[in-house]
């Protein structure tokens, strides 16, 4: 994976340059979508559409869907979809991190790899695959949903 697209690659208002670096045309919906995902990591599409409309009130649902698809394909966004949940998006890409998901409230939190190098986890038998990434989702209860007795 390309670490030049890691978590901090879009800080400081250089969203347009990130699009150019990915050989994408700079459009209002793409810039607004990147900004929305950066501001709302792990958000679903409906939440992102509302956020994009804060910048571009007349943007269509389809323009945001198309932007999410294009930005994901270009490696500027990462799409995750824990079992039983709608797709979520984040701008933290290229570092092979994982996620913690609360079974009760659905909150999603980033979890850095504990194993070091990428991929930080490998199967017992690779079946001949050249593995370059591992996607792990840890399920449980977040601190808020555990209740006061968990403290």
80-121: per-residue pLDDT in tens? 999 999 999 999 998 878 999 999 999 999 998 876 666 667
* pTM exceeds cut of 0.85: no
Tens digit of pLDDT for each residue in 3-58?
333 444 444 359 999 999 999 999 999 999 999 999 999 999 999 999 999 999 99
Nearest alpha-carbon partner for 110 in 96, 124, 129: 96
The CATH homologous superfamily to which domain 96-150 belongs is Ferric-uptake regulator, C-terminal dimerisarion domain (3.30.1490.190)
How many residues are listed for the chain in this entry? 151
Domain range summary for the chain, segments of one domain joined by +: 3-88, 96-150
Nearest alpha-carbon partner for 23 in 71, 91, 78, 77: 71
The class level of CATH for 3-88 reads mainly alpha
Cα angle: 78, vertex 82, 85; to 5 degrees? 110
Q: Confirm whether residue 120 is marked as ligand binding.
A: no
């Amino acid at each position: 994976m390309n670490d030049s697209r890691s978590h901090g690659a879009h800080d400081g208002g250089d969203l347009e340059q990130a699009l150019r670096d990915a050989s994408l045309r700079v459009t209002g919906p793409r810039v607004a979508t990147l900004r929305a995902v950066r501001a709302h990591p792990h958000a679903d599409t409906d939440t992102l559409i509302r956020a994009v409309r804060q910048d571009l009130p007349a943007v269509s649902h389809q323009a945001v869907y198309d932007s999410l698809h294009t930005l994901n394909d270009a490696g500027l966004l990462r799409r995750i979809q824990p079992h039983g949940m709608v797709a979520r998006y984040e701008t933290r890409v290229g570092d092979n991190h994982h996620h913690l998901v609360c079974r009760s409230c659905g909150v999603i939190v980033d979890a850095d790899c504990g194993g070091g190098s990428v991929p930080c986890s490998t199967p017992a038998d690779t079946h001949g695959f050249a593995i370059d990434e591992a996607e792990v989702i840890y399920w449980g209860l977040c601190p808020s949903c555990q209740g006061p007795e968990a403290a």
